[in-house]
């Protein structure tokens, strides 16, 4: 079952996740997640933070959205993973995507300890993902059919 948590508690959840990682022997993952979070917000100040996929076995996943999911920010034992929901449709001239490259939809960036983040390239990806999400929102909806069949006969 999918559950979305209100934005205030989602932001607090991400804050707590960063803090917990930082408190655990000064773990680099908390600092990196905080840095990436900041870059995402710089790229698009209208980004909404969400917490999705909460289950009994998982506290949930930090999600960054605008017009739909832009990306998730997850931490694993040796990596901070930024997964773009529609990454396969994004141009990546800087080559940031280095994970989940075989899929038809998502693409991810695995950041390892000591890696430097190309902030400009990440901002470009975030902006492109937002633009892609909003693309579908700007199309006018087709007029509903009236249900009456009309035909013109040539006499």
Please choose, from the candidates 11, 50, 44, 33, the residue with its C-alpha nearest in 3D space to the C-alpha of residue 111.
33
* 120 within some domain: yes
Q: Say whether pTM exceeds 0.85.
A: no
* Structural domain contains residue 55: yes
| 54: confidence class by pLDDT, cuts 50, 70, 90 | confident
Q: Whole-angstrom Cα distance, residue 145 to residue 129?
A: 33
Asked if residue 30 is part of any domain, the answer here is yes
Q: Say how many domains are in the chain.
A: 1
Residue 147 lies in a domain: no
pLDDT, position 7: 46
CATH classification of the domain holding 15: 3.90.1150.200
Average pLDDT over residues 110-127: 96
59 is in which domain, residue-wise? 7-135
* pLDDT(63) > 60: yes
Average pLDDT over residues 8-16: 67
Contact 81, 110 (CB under 8 A): yes
pLDDT at 149 over 60: no
Tokens 């490259």 sit at which residue? Answer: 101
Classify 113 as helix, strand or coil.
coil
Per DSSP, 55 falls in state B
Greater confidence (1 vs 116) lies with 116
Beta-strand (E) ranges in 12-147?
48-52, 61-65, 69-75, 80-84, 107-111
Residue 94 placed within a domain: yes
Most confident range (mean pLDDT) of 23-27, 38-42, 48-52, 56-60 is 38-42
pLDDT at 3 over 60: no
């Amino acid at each position: 079952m999918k559950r979305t948590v209100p934005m205030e508690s989602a932001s607090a959840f991400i804050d707590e996740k960063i803090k917990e990682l930082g408190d655990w022997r000064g773990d680099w993952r908390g600092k990196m997640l905080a840095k990436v979070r900041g870059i995402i917000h710089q790229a698009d100040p209208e980004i909404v933070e969400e917490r999705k996929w909460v289950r009994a076995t998982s506290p949930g996943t930090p999600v960054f959205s605008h017009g739909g999911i832009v990306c998730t920010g997850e931490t694993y034992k040796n990596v901070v993973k930024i997964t773009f929901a529609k990454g396969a449709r994004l141009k990546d001239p800087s080559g940031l995507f280095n994970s989940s490259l075989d899929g038809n939809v998502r693409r991810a960036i695995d950041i390892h300890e000591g890696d430097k983040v190309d902030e400009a390239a990440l901002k470009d990806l975030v902006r492109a993902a937002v633009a892609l999400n909003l693309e579908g929102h700007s199309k006018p909806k087709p007029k509903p059919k009236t249900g009456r069949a009309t035909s013109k006969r040539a006499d």
